[in-house]
Amino acid sequence: MDTWVIVLIVIAVVVVLALIALAVSRRSGAAQARKREQAREHLQEAHVRQARADQTQALAEEEAARARREKAEAEERAATAERQARERVAQAHDERSTAEELRAKAEKLAPGLGDGHSGHQRVDQVRTEQVGPDAVRTEHVRTEQVPADQPLRRDEPGGGATRR
């Protein structure tokens, strides 16, 4: 073989290798561009999700604050209702004491006059109970003054234990 053929083959091989190297570098450049674009998309998605998470957290904190405020208001209303109920109980107790004093004075002035008041009701106790966040139930427990010879139930002829 002649020298010029060998030189031509070597040049052809070098050109082919240069073309291969150029193609590979373009491919890797395109791959890097795709990777950069994908990284930008990931960063953009991360920012969107971060903003959404911040908004959700702010809403949750706002709801928690509102719930705490409503709870405090309900507790305040319950405390006010309990205080008012205690005041009413104290007032009823004072009224009852005054009534007993007046009854005692009446008995001193006219003995036996107070016997005709059987069946008179009086409040013995007032109970209050919290039944909801905004509701208080007040229960008046009453006793009835009944003469000893009168049956406790009007449909029963006498005292004692009876079965039905």
**pLDDT-wise least confident of 14-23, 88-97, 146-155:** 146-155
What's the pLDDT at 33? Answer: 87
- Between the two ends of the chain, the Cα-to-Cα distance in Å is 135
Query: Which pLDDT band, with edges at 50, 70 and 90, does 147 fall under?
Result: low
Dmax (CA) for the chain in angstroms is 159
Query: In the chain, which residue ranges form alpha helices assigned H by DSSP?
Result: 3-109
What pLDDT digit, counting tens, does each position of 71-125 carry? 999 999 999 999 999 999 999 999 999 999 998 888 888 887 766 544 444 445 5
C-alpha–C-alpha distance, residues 140 and 127, integer Å: 6
- The letter for the amino acid at 1 is M
* Bridge partners, residue 78, by sequence: none
Please state the separation of Cα 139 from the chain's center in Å.
27
The neighbouring-strand residues paired with 64 are none
